Structure 1
Amino acid sequence: MSAGPQHEPLFELQAVDVRLGARAQVHALSGVSLRIAAGERVALVGANGSGKSSLLRCLHGLLPVASGRLQLAPDLRMAMLFQRPHMLRLSARNNVALGLWLDGVPWSAAKLQALEALERVGLAGLAQRNARALSGGQQQRLALARAWARRPGVWLLDEPTASLDPHAKREVEALITDFAEHSTGNQPSTLIFSSHNLGQVKRLASRVLYLEQGRLLADLPTADFFNHERLQAMCPQAHAFVKGETP
């Protein structure tokens, strides 16, 4: 059930398995095959433990492939954001500047670029505030600023608004949409995100992957995924999930 593009992909997985645990006894991903091209907006959906986070971490290189093949386009600039981003015991500005400095940007320039990034997400007025003292929504916007400052071409987002209040969710979602609409270098930005919010999936995604117990069961354009009759015929498990009938 593949909706993947036919031209050269940024990511190509062929029968990928990912295993977790001290003895690799947990199959986080089983036989996953897919292609993702530049400019796509791909949502990962499924129940807790379905493999969404594992797939994102595999794409980012944080989890090794146990078997199968993962091929990445050369010179990918990726940024990954987690549901609860880690904040250093530094000011908001220095949380951004440190990443730039580690990339080789001189400290004085890194601080200027960090302030630009904070302005981009509406946090310039909190530049000197300790990052750990910020609200959850502000921390997620700071994490977006930290990523945007490094100009990634691929955004990997793991439940980026799950723990936020409705107002903060709208703010973060608007930023994600804006970042995804702007190109980086010669290629359009690519968005790959997991979400339990099906309304968010409809708003942000052009393509939906449904995972269950580490297996990719459906890969469809968003319009087809939310067409109940078509989805029920193509993937009953995904249809049950959309209806809220998955345990």
Structure 2
Amino acid sequence: MREAISIMAFGKASTAGEVEGAGSGSALSTRDLSLEVSGRRLIDKLTLSLPPTSITIVMGPNGAGKSQFLRLLHGLAVPTSGTVFCCGTPLSERHRARQAMVFQKPVLLRRSVAANIDYALAVNGRRSRRRRELLLEAIGFTDKASQPARLLSGGEQQRLALARALATEPDTLFLDEPTASLDPASAQTIEHIVRDVSAQGTKIVFVTHDIGQAKRLAGDVVFLHRGKLAEHSPAPRFFARPRSEAARAFLAGQIVI
């Protein structure tokens, strides 16, 4: 797996950035970002800057705005006010073309496993049998190329969805609770792939409710509560000494409303 993903050349070397604030140089940052739907404010004036590489974990209780935050960063939702920046300039279609997203529920074509990957490669103008083989190898599907995607298990479908996202060679990969409904073995496989892709320089923004998973993966943690930024800290500090009351309660296993 490691060799396959390395061959796909996901290296995106960049210098380290500030974790807190909206400093320059970050691949992604926001300024006063807000989103209202039907009069309800789901995201409330978020200003932050993400490190250009490594894995950013987004956490928070149900209804905190985590999925909406990812949709805004990826341009799938239009903010009511505020701005998303990519490399210091407002998010554009050019930036979005260098991003990919994997949802909690996989969305696949009603075709074979290989055809799903071929489609993603063709859309990106990089279709080749060798690249398809590398992607299949990366997710452990070398023996499933001709199998209908709809007959895969839930964990296998999510691995295929991840492979399709990686086929675009994104600079930034968003994952919205990709392992929430998976068995432990499938979740572990996804985590291994995510670590490998991050090690090659792709920026990962990963939403999870799983504290153990967050500890395994996080370089930094964005914690949202009621649509607001409760805190954004390097992972070691967040898990050892969370500053916000909501984060302390969440990590202690308490119900956070």
SS of aligned partner of 1:125: coil
1:128 aligns with 2:146: yes
Once residues 211 and 90 of structure 1 are traced to their aligned partners in structure 2, the CA distance between those partners, rounded to angstroms, is 38
AA partner of residue 128 (structure 1): S
> In the comparison of the two structures, how many residue pairs are matched?
231
Once residues 189 and 209 of structure 2 are traced to their aligned partners in structure 1, the CA distance between those partners, rounded to angstroms, is 18
Q: 1:78 pairs with 99, 104, 107, which one? A: 99
SS of aligned partner of 1:240: helix
Corresponding position of 2:109: 88
Cα deviations across residues 144-189 of structure 1 (Å, max 9, x unaligned)? 111112111111100011100111111111111111111xxxxx21
Once residues 41 and 176 of structure 2 are traced to their aligned partners in structure 1, the CA distance between those partners, rounded to angstroms, is 19
- After TM superposition, the structure 1 stretch with the greater mean CA deviation from structure 2, 52-61 or 145-154, is 145-154
SS of aligned partner of 2:168: coil
Aligned-pair distance for 1:111? Answer: 4.4
Aligned-pair distance for 1:5? Answer: 7.7
Q: 1:189 pairs with 202, 218, 221, which one? A: 202
Corresponding position of 2:244: 235
- Equivalent pair of 2:102/2:174 in contact (CA under 8 Å): yes
Corresponding position of 2:80: 66
Once residues 207 and 64 of structure 1 are traced to their aligned partners in structure 2, the CA distance between those partners, rounded to angstroms, is 25
Corresponding position of 1:201: 214
TM-score by length of 2: 0.85
Q: 1:158 pairs with 176, 192, 198, which one? A: 176
SS of aligned partner of 1:126: coil
Corresponding position of 2:253: 244
Aligned-pair distance for 1:17? Answer: 0.5
TM-score by length of 1: 0.88
Once residues 41 and 129 of structure 2 are traced to their aligned partners in structure 1, the CA distance between those partners, rounded to angstroms, is 43
Corresponding position of 1:172: 190
AA partner of residue 196 (structure 1): H
Corresponding position of 1:12: 29
SS of aligned partner of 1:39: coil
Cα deviations across residues 182-224 of structure 1 (Å, max 9, x unaligned)? 1xxxxx2111110011111111111111111111111111111
Cα deviations across residues 56-92 of structure 1 (Å, max 9, x unaligned)? 1101000101101222227541110011111110000
Aligned-pair distance for 1:4? Answer: 5.2
Once residues 17 and 4 of structure 1 are traced to their aligned partners in structure 2, the CA distance between those partners, rounded to angstroms, is 16
Once residues 7 and 213 of structure 1 are traced to their aligned partners in structure 2, the CA distance between those partners, rounded to angstroms, is 27
Once residues 130 and 111 of structure 1 are traced to their aligned partners in structure 2, the CA distance between those partners, rounded to angstroms, is 18
Q: How large is the RMSD of aligned CA atoms in angstroms?
A: 1.7
